[in-house]
């Protein structure tokens, strides 16, 4: 991995903009890629479709993934990431509005690294995303 890279997969443009703003505030968005649905995320991660030219070995440091998205939902994206030898070690953070216990259970059963419910209030949302970014990009020590 050449640079710090966050892959944000979020279909809600307002939540995506807030997330990006919170990460920029802490200088963590230098190499951030925002994709709007699960199908595009899978194409990007596995270097297929319109991302065929991308090197599969250039994986993101962390994936911030929404749960409820069009085309392919976050659970299916998580399932594909964690079931592939090439990608299963990428930390995946589910950042979602769902507090539903079955969603939380399934995500952890599939190997999600963290499950965070999006705070409703602006300040709390920004703080949660900032803390997430700092933890996964600065504090966490990934395997080499």
Q: Residue 25: what pLDDT?
A: 87
Q: Residue 3: what pLDDT?
A: 57
Q: Residue 38: what pLDDT?
A: 96
CA 4 from centre of chain:
13
CATH topology classification for 6-138: Rossmann fold (3.40.50)
- Of 53, 61, 8, nearest in space to 32 by CA: 8
Q: Residue 52: what pLDDT?
A: 95
Model-level pTM?
Answer: 0.92
Residue length of the chain: 144
Q: Can you list the alpha helix ranges (DSSP code H) found in the chain?
A: 13-25, 38-45, 74-82, 101-110, 122-134
Q: Residue 142: what pLDDT?
A: 79
Q: Residue 4: what pLDDT?
A: 59
Q: Residue 137: what pLDDT?
A: 85
Q: Residue 2: what pLDDT?
A: 47
Q: Residue 114: what pLDDT?
A: 95
- For 2, phi then psi, to 5°, come to -85, -40
What is the dihedral sign for C-alpha 43, 143, 113, 65?
Answer: negative
Residues of the chain with confidence (pLDDT) below 70:
1-4
């Amino acid at each position: 991995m050449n640079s710090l890279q966050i892959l944000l997969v979020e279909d809600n443009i307002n939540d995506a903009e807030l997330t990006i703003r919170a990460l920029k505030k802490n200088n963590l968005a230098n190499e951030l890629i925002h994709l709007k649905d699960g199908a595009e995320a899978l194409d990007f991660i596995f270097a297929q479709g319109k991302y065929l030219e991308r090197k599969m070995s250039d994986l993101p440091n962390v994936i911030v993934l929404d749960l409820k998205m069009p085309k392919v939902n976050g659970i299916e994206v998580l399932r594909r990431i964690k079931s592939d030898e090439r990608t299963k070690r990428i930390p995946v953070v589910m950042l979602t509005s769902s507090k539903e216990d079955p969603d939380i259970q399934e995500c952890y059963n599939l190997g999600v690294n963290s499950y965070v419910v999006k705070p409703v209030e602006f300040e709390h949302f920004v703080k949660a995303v900032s803390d997430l970014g700092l933890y996964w990009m600065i504090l966490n020590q990934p395997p080499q």
